[in-house]
Structure formats: structure tokens, C-alpha cells
A and B are shown apart, each in its own frame.
Chain A
């Protein structure tokens, strides 16, 4: 997804901070966790994230982790065989090709992790569904929306018509090769301009500085908040486009179709 030659320039710092604040998960350990190291059926060491190391745990093997969680007031349990991390590292390191792009390297790492899950690394709740989504779901979406070259320009306006956040991305062969923000388009004066004028100005400047955008998205920060806080942001985006909260600029037909069909597809999936 991220090209080795990715260029990241002109990131507007205030916009970056706003978005990061919004997306950044809280630091530190989430919930109470139990981390166990074992060999055979012998427990070597136990750490409870709230109670500390060396907690007494009745261990009968890496099965029934949900029971262990219940007995030890833990929201999650990770159980590691003594050499599992070494095996995982060895498998990843011997499998990753230095010449591969980052996405392929990441997939190799995930495969190595997948091989250890349930063998030397046991986790409760089961992370397999989420991992599968990362391994197959995201690349599948990218493949479906595959373009030889695509420039995406997305702009979020504040309550006064100024820019609250922005993103300019260029994909080549499904890989991001360029990341920027409205700082690339400076100097910009958006005051007193209508939405149409703003869209025209931003797209024109984008074409001038990087190339014509193939996909343009424009919305205010309330719509943006709605989308990023929605459990299914893609569905929320589609809904916002349909009800006019998000203005589409240029848009390739496959993406336009996907946005139209997405709510229906997701609705059907939920029903099933």
C-alpha cells in the first residue's frame, strides 16, 4: 500500500495535529491483561498488566484462556510459548524479501504470525477475524478499486469556510507514492467563497501543483466527524455522499458505483 519511494511533503501541522488527535488511540495498555510465558505445560512467568509480574496463576496449558481471564480479572490473555517469538522472528526474517514492497513484507509478517497463532502464541479474545480482514480484506478492496494512477484530493472545511483538514494522495499501481495536504497548494485564500468556488480553486491548484485529481471529496468537519466516528466509515461516507453532506468532485465510475452500492451491500451482509 505504501510505496518504498513514497514522498510525504507539505503537511500542514495544525491539520495534522487535529486529525491525529481524532484518530490517535489512547496510549498505554487497554483494559486489564494477562501475559503468560510457558514451556510444555509449565508456566514460566505471568504478568498482569495491573497487578504486576509474578502473579499466581493456575495454569494447565494454553487452552481455555477465557477461563484464565475470568479467574484473573483480565479482559484479554496472551500466552506465549518460550520460543514462540524467536520462531516468529525467524520465520518472518527468512520469509521477507528485502526487495519486496512494504505491503508484501507486512503480509509475510502476518503469515508468520498466523502460523504461530494457536501453535506457540495463544490469544483471547481470538484475533483471527481481525487478522484475516487485514490480510485479505484491505488488499481486496484496493484491488477492486485498482487504478494505474489515481490522485485523491479530500478537503474538510471548518465552520468559517477555512480548511480544517486535507489530504492529497497519489496512487500508482495501487501503491501510495505521494502524500500531502493543502500546504502544497499555498497560497490559498478561501474566505468569502462559495462551496463551488472553493472546490474549483482547490482542484485547479491541485492540477497545477501535482496533477488533476481523479477523485475529489469535500465536506465540512461535522460530516467528517460523523464519518470517522461511524463504526463503518465507508458506509457513512456513502450515506453522506447520498444525502449531500459530502460533495463529490471528479470521481471514477467504479468508485462512484461502489459508493452507491456500498450501503446496500453492507445492509444485506448485516441481515445475513
Chain B
């Protein structure tokens, strides 16, 4: 029976232990320094380490491996035995892609010289991963040859690991790839067009649609067999009848990601590592082609995200953390505890803020990468020889004490509302990128959706491209500035989990997959408050008729291109003749409420102006506040500065309130506390008595507070930190 993953940590029999690890590269340290480094890791409060075991480091030639025969620092067995002796659990990252600032990210160079296992672009060229100090070709995770080579590595490394698995040994978890997926070459029409990937694409279509007749009907084609179907290489929809062909390709890209994860974790289990939990990590936000539900459902026990960022990346850290908080079995991420000198420079202050921002927004488990300096890594809490480096080291000591004393992993971020990330529109947007094959082409700070467009489509006069993100961003800002904490689940969330929210905001356009339409309808019927709009879905994702909401929503009686609503310009507003108006602008009803059996649908038939930066959006905040109030959600500890966010975590051994300044300027918000409450800074011990203390916050600064009742009593938790 493998170790189980729970929402608060790793389940060892009856005990759920928090998953908080320090990452180490044992092979980059002298074996003589291991003991001291592990002691320091323990002293900092960690009981787990995550170790990278790179294929390219241990393989000396094909099929020949050095696990300490000629180089002590590669003696994996000895290191693991030392971990057992020091009572440190181990999560082993085996690759094939380990990153680890290695040339070729840990793939041995010899396999990348085999053309039959490399990915191909839509142009037929090999795809290069632009990773200094050397660009290297991206392998194909559809290629059998790639898995055959990987099997040779897994055979060797699993022999070392299998006897050291928990409970006899320290290894409790295994991670195959680390943020590998397509090596960030994720544009829809970039990869993978090698023969093996095309064959897999056809298998995927067979699995999805059953037989070629169904595909032909859907695509309007006359293919004799699946082998005749060629993958699309650019988005040329022509008419809407072509949409299924492209939408299937966008979905296949997601399938390809968790297909690879599934094969790798399966191979590890076959080799005696079945007792450990399995883990995969993705780079940044789990949006298409990353699919957290797909991975956790089919490929690994746990899927996490790499969150290397600085203070200025607060918004991205928040969005990712709240997506994980909603979607994952255990919201897990890798956080920087130092930085790669060849990568983006992050200061200690940056890293500290990113850690607190992740915890503030719902992350429950983390791997702090890397905890000791070594080749190609700097700024870690420990020097290469195990010397403590302050203030970084003491930060982690205090952090672990804070986590232990507050039981934060057992607490739950108080979010009663959900702002859905709509996968249908993400997929559609991915088809429309003008910047392919460059990933993340958008200049820093500009939204990627600004660089998406598509030719006019007959069935889609109002495309969700750019409009969906605009609605989403405005709702996000609106709720944030209204002081209402929302989670950001994937629209593939289960109906059961959806029912746990009092309010669900689902930006909707002319199409939406039928299963999601049904799920949202049931949610409202069962008592939830569902906010839809700006358009009622009338088609499924293939642009075929499917209007589950038709009998519940009203037809517009008028249409106004621009409409002033208390100073905010609403765009493309539909006007309704509704008995229960929710928003009236200049005497016209542009949003209405439709009572359902036990809940309600609130339809908002207009589009917002674009808010991308830190703009104050008082009108969107007012709408968000009203929506929340309709669902019975009150802001918790609202600050008087709309650019400051707070989240409340309850259910642990202490109540924790986080505050974040989302702006690049200093802020001094007042936070309204309940009677008799005092905030104690969890790290400095500074006390802020109620009823409305003023909290100084530096630019993009995040602070954590213990909420204390009866302020006169001894502040046991904060005083020691």
C-alpha cells in the first residue's frame, strides 16, 4: 500500500505529516560535508529532503553507472543511509528530466544524439531548449525509443532505491520529471510532430471518438482510417465545422503531457518503487497544456508547480497558489531558496516574499530549492560546506517554527467563492497565438492573450479570445479589491467540489462544453449562486448546438456598444427585460438574477474594460461585493486600501492572517479586526492591537500575523520567532 496524499500532508498510517522539504544536490557536495548539511537541514526544522538524482551525472557510458565506485560524491546509497541515520525522509527526483542547472537538464548527451527519440516541430526541425550554457534538442515523450533508454536508467537507479524505500529506508516519494513538460515549448502548433507523437495523436482520437466514422462526421471528412488523419500545423478554422479538428489537437497536447507522466511513474512502480507516492511538477500556472486533474487522476499521486519568482511576481504566485488550493489533492509547489546565477536574479527578499505569498494563497506543501549552495546555485541558506548563511538560514528556522506552531498545513484558507479558469477558452486561446513558436513571447508585464487573434469565424461573432481573460482579470481584481478571497479552480473541477463554494463565477461565451454546462446548472439548482456572462453558452466546444441554460436565461431585447455605469464603461452590453435586475446602467438592465430551485443564476451581459496592472477598480469591486453578498459571503478582515489583500487561515492550532501589498509602493492599510483581537507579526513578534491597526507594508511585501483574542495574554507563538 503506497503512502497516501491528503490535503494537509503525507499520510503515514494514522498520522498526516506536513510535506515541507529542503532540496539538495548531494553529488555536488563533498561526501564528507553531507552529514553537516543534513544536520543543518534538521536544525532548520525540516524532516524531509528532496534530492535530485540526475541520469547524466551517474551514467558514465551507455548502461554503465557510477553510484560511488569511482566518485564518493555519487554514492547515492551512502547518502540515503545517512538520511536514515539522521531521520530525514527523502523524496527522490529521478528524471529523466531533472533540470538541476545541468547541461541538457540531466538527459545524457548521447541519447539526444539519437534522432529517433527527438521531438519535431511543425516545420519538421528538431526543437531546441534554449537553456544556457548549451541549447539542446528536446526529446519526444511519445517516442518508444526514449522510454527504452529511460528504462536502462530506471533499472539502475531503482536498484539503489528499492531496498531503501519506506518503511525500511528513508525514501517516501519519487518524482519522475521536474518541470519538464515539452521543455516549455508549449505553444499549440510547436511540438510534437515526430512520427511517434503523430501515431499517439491518432490513438488519442480513436480513444476519444471510437471509430473513424464518428470522426468523419465530426470533422466533415472522408478518412478511410485513422492513419489518414494529419495533425494541424496552424489554426486555419475557415468555417466552424473545422473546429472539432483543432479543439481535439489542443486537448491532445494536454493528453501528451500526462501520457508521459503516466508512462514514467508506471515504469517506476514496476521497478519496486510502488510503496512511495509519485509526484510531478509543472512550470508555473497549471493551464493548458498542463492539466492538474489529468495528471493527478491518471499519472501521479500529486502534481505541483514550480514557483520561482520575486516580489514583483506576487500576482502570478497568488493566481497559481489559488489554482492549486482549489484543484490539487495537496497544494504543492517548489519555491526558490536561492537562485541560478545564470538565470533571473532573485534577492533573498524576493524569495522570502514568494514563500509567504504562496502560503498566504493556499499552498500547503513546498520543496525549498536548493537549500545548500553548490555549483551553479547561489544564495541558499547554507554554503557549499554547510556553513549557515544568515539571514536566509534563520528565515527558514523561523518559517518552520511558524508552520509547526500554527499548524498552518492543517488550516484552510477561507475562500467561499470560486472564479473558474475556463479550460475551453484557454484551449481556444492556445490555438490563436500569433507568437508561436516563441513561448511566453509577450514582453514582460503584458498579458499573453494580447498576442492572440484569429480570422473571423461565422459561428463565433464574439470570440472569447482576449475577452475571456479580460473578464477573468477584472473579476479577479474586483473580488480582491472588495476584500473577498476567491479560489481559482479549473472548470474541470468535480461537481461535488464545486458544491463546496457558495458563489461560482464562470465567465461564459457562446460556447462551453456540455458537461460543464450541466455541472454549473446542477450547481445552481442545488443551492449555489452562479454568475454567468457576458454571453449565454449556446454551443459546445466543437461549436455544435448545446444550450443547457436556454430555458433558464433570458433573450436580450437590445444591445448597446458602450454604456456608462457609474464611471465604468461597460462594453457590448446586452439589455434585458428582467423582473429581477441585478445591474442597471442608465435605466437599462444589463444583468439580472434568475432564481433557481434552491440557488440562483446571476447573468451579467456585458464586458469589462481591460485591467491588467494594479489599477483600482472600484466599480468591479462593488459588483464583486454585491455578488458575494448575494451568496452570503462577507469580506474577512478587509483592509481599507484596495491594493492590499488579506487571507484568513483557520482550522490549524492558531488563526493566521496574511496581508500582501500588491502594489510597488509602500502601503499603510488599516485592517478592521473583531472585538478584542490583536495581530501579532509571526516573525518579528510586533503587536498590532485592534480595533483597526495600521500595518506598514513595503512594496509587494507579504506579512503573516497570528490573530490573538484577549491581547493581554502571553504571546507564546510570536514571541519566540
Residue positions of A touching B, CB distance < 8 A? 2-11, 13, 16-17, 20-21, 24, 27-29, 33, 35, 37, 44-45, 47, 49, 52-54, 80, 82, 85-86, 89-90, 92-94, 96, 98, 101-102, 105, 179, 183
Contacts and interface: CB of A to CB of B under 8 A. Distances in A.
Interface stretch (B82-90, B127-135, B358-366, B559-567): B127-135
B443 A86 contact: no
Nearest to A9: B375
B443 A4 contact: no
B115 to A, nearest CB: 11
Nearest to B118: A98
Contacts of B112: 98
A120 B135 CA distance: 24
B446 A47 contact: yes
Contacts of A35: 443, 451
B383 A8 contact: no
Given A28-B445, A52-B610, A86-B123, 16 more contacts: A4-B133, A4-B134, A10-B373, A11-B373, A11-B379, A13-B379, A13-B392, A16-B345, A20-B347, A29-B446, A44-B453, A47-B450, A53-B466, A94-B125, A96-B128, A98-B134
A196 to B, nearest CB: 29
A86 B188 CA distance: 13
B469 to A, nearest CB: 10
Q: How large is the interface on B (under 10, 10 to 19, 20 to 34, 35 or more residues)?
A: 35 or more
A28 B132 contact: no
A45 B453 CA distance: 7
Interface string B113-154: 100000001110111100011111100000000000000000
Nearest to A10: B384
A89 B121 contact: yes
B445 A7 contact: no
Closest 4 CB pairs of A and B: A11-B378, A20-B345, A28-B445, A45-B453
Interface string B378-390: 1100011000010
B450 A90 contact: no
A29 B443 contact: yes
B453 A85 contact: no
A93 B127 contact: yes
Nearest to B438: A85
B446 A4 contact: no
Residue from the set A53, A54, A183 with the largest chain B CB neighbour count within 10 Å: A53
Contacts of B383: 10, 183
A85 B445 contact: no
Contact of A93 (B121, B133, B345): B121
Contacts of B445: 27-29
A28 B315 CA distance: 14
Contacts of B449: 53
A40 to B, nearest CB: 14
Contacts of A8: 341-342, 375-378
Contacts of B345: 16-17, 20, 24
Given A7-B375, A24-B345, A85-B438, A90 B125 contact: yes
Q: Do most interface residues of chain B lie in helix, strand or loop, or is the interface mixed?
A: loop
Given A21-B347, A179-B341, A16 B135 contact: no
B123 A90 contact: yes
Contacts of B137: 98
Contact of B133 (A20, A52, A94, A102): A102
A205 to B, nearest CB: 16
B437 A27 contact: no
A169 B450 CA distance: 42
Contacts of A13: 338, 348, 378-379, 389, 392
Contacts of B513: none
A98 B373 contact: no
A82 B134 CA distance: 29
Contact of A85 (B136, B384, B435, B450): B435
A91 B437 CA distance: 13
Nearest to B127: A93
B443 A16 contact: no
B437 A85 contact: yes
A49 B347 contact: no
Contacts of B438: 85, 89
A98 B135 contact: yes
B374 interface: yes
A94 B109 CA distance: 18
A28 B384 CA distance: 34
Contacts of B379: 11, 13, 16-17
B434 interface: yes
A92 B130 CA distance: 11
A2 to B, nearest CB: 5
A24 B310 CA distance: 14
B378 A102 contact: no
A27 B444 CA distance: 7
A28 B392 contact: no
Given A47-B450, A89-B121, A33 B434 contact: no
B134 A102 contact: yes
A11 B345 CA distance: 13
Contacts of B450: 47, 52-53
Contacts of A53: 449-451, 453, 466
A28 B444 contact: yes
A17 B18 CA distance: 32
